[in-house]
Amino acid sequence: MISLKNLPNQESGEVTILFLRRYWLDLAGAFFFTLAMVIVPFALYGAIRLGHLTILEQPFWGPALTLLLGCYMLVVAVIAMAQITDYFLDIWIVTNERVINIEQQGLFNRTVSELRLNQVQDITSETNGFLETFLTYGNVYIQTAGERERFVFKDIDNPDDVKLTLSKLVADCKRRRGDASLEQEEQQTNHAIKP
Amino acid sequence: MSAFHFPLWYLLVPFAAVLLATTIYMFFNIYHIAKFGMQSFGTTVVLLLYFGGYLVVLAVVGIMIGNVDWHHTVTLLEILPFSGGSTSTFGI
């Protein structure tokens, strides 16, 4: 397991400031989806009983439908677990030195990337739509001067507060370590000028 | 037509394949959370919920299946819905 007190490649004096996950609404959505999937066979069973259909008493179809229901329940359980795993393993850790992005894609794909705070050039928070505004969750985009794609904290709680904290941390880090985003930008400009 | 008959337990073979696949998938999920999850009380709770939830589903499915007489033999005629089969073997 990953410990916040013992992060990969942790430097001395590096402290975890923020530990972020997607907003709980994602997990609630998965929960209600699973609940709906569980209700479907019981609703069908009720409809069959109400319609006085004899299919459940048939010597072949009774057991066959029992097994089908069993398979369905197992698959629903697995889908629910996959959704929980996906939610649980998508995390963002912000320390006073860097941002670590750990993302689970499916069951076998994991991406772990990190970004030093003094490379950050721009931080944008975004809240779209009624629900995100009302429940105060949204995205935070972290842009560097490099060619790498920007970091996205997707569907996190209080994106504006996170942006504010990140901005302070970036400013602190740049004071201590120097602004690496300017160096990156210079390198890119030089690279572009050279034939 | 009625000469073609087979025991009901044949149906358990594809079911066993589904059971095996879902169990393997579930263990991979647990492995991923145990290996890559954060070291916290929440992770332990989620792992326990995984085990508990899956065991409950297995128990319910087991009870449903346990109530069926799998040695019963069916004929092709009985497979056709509404053909007038009389024996009640459904488990729930």
CATH code of the domain containing A178: 2.30.29
Distance of alpha carbon B61 from the chain centroid: 5
Measured between CB atoms, which of A59, A74, A91 is closest to B74?
Answer: A59
Averaged pLDDT score across all residues of chain A: 86
Contact A153, A140 (CB under 8 A): yes
Percent of chain B surpassing pLDDT 90: 21
**Pick from A11-15, A139-143, A184-188, B43-47: least confident:** A184-188
| Same-domain status, A158 and A171 | yes
Q: Most B CBs within 10 Å: which of A7, A37, A38, A66, as the mutation test of the B interface? A: A66
| Same-domain status, A183 and A110 | yes
Beta-carbon count within 10 A of A120 CB: 26
| Same-domain status, A98 and A186 | yes
Percent of chain A surpassing pLDDT 70: 89
The answer for residues whose C-beta is within 8 angstroms of residue B82's C-beta and 6 or more apart is A54, A55, A58
Indicate the residue type of A115.
L
A11 in a structural domain: no
Tell me the per-residue pLDDT of B44-63, one tens digit each, with 9 for 90 and over. 888 888 888 889 989 998 99
Token output for A120:
């950050």
Tell me the per-residue pLDDT of A73-125, one tens digit each, with 9 for 90 and over. 999 999 988 888 888 888 999 999 999 998 888 777 888 888 899 889 899 99
| pLDDT for the residue A170 | 94
Helix (H, G, I), strand (E, B) or coil at A6: strand
Token output for A49:
């009983």
* Domain final residue, candidates A41, A71, A86: A86
The answer for residues whose C-beta is within 8 angstroms of residue B27's C-beta and 6 or more apart is none
In chain A the first and final C-alpha atoms are separated, in Å, by 48
| Residue in chain B nearest A61 by alpha carbon | B79
Asked if pLDDT for residue B86 goes beyond 50, the answer is no
| Residue in chain B nearest A21 by alpha carbon | B38
> Which H or E element spans position B79?
helix B76-79
The answer for residues whose C-beta is within 8 angstroms of residue A171's C-beta and 6 or more apart is none
| Same-domain status, A131 and A155 | yes
Helix (H, G, I), strand (E, B) or coil at A35: helix
At B30, the pLDDT band (50, 70, 90 cuts) reads confident
| pLDDT for the residue A192 | 61
Chain B residues with beta carbon closer than 8 angstroms to that of A2: 36-39
| Same-domain status, A112 and A187 | yes
Question: CB–CB of B82 and A57 under 8 A?
Answer: no
| Same-domain status, A95 and A80 | no
Domain positions in chain B are 5-79
A2 in a structural domain: no
- Distance, in Å, from the CA atom of A36 to the CA atom of A41, rounded to the nearest integer, reads 10
Tell me the per-residue pLDDT of A144-165, one tens digit each, with 9 for 90 and over. 876 666 789 999 999 999 999 9
| Same-domain status, A95 and A78 | no
At A185, the pLDDT band (50, 70, 90 cuts) reads low
Tally the domains of chain A.
2
| pLDDT for the residue B18 | 94
Looking at chain A, which runs of residues are DSSP E strands?
16-21, 91-95, 98-105, 109-116, 120-126, 137-144, 151-157
* Full residue range of the structural domain in which residue A42 is found: 27-86
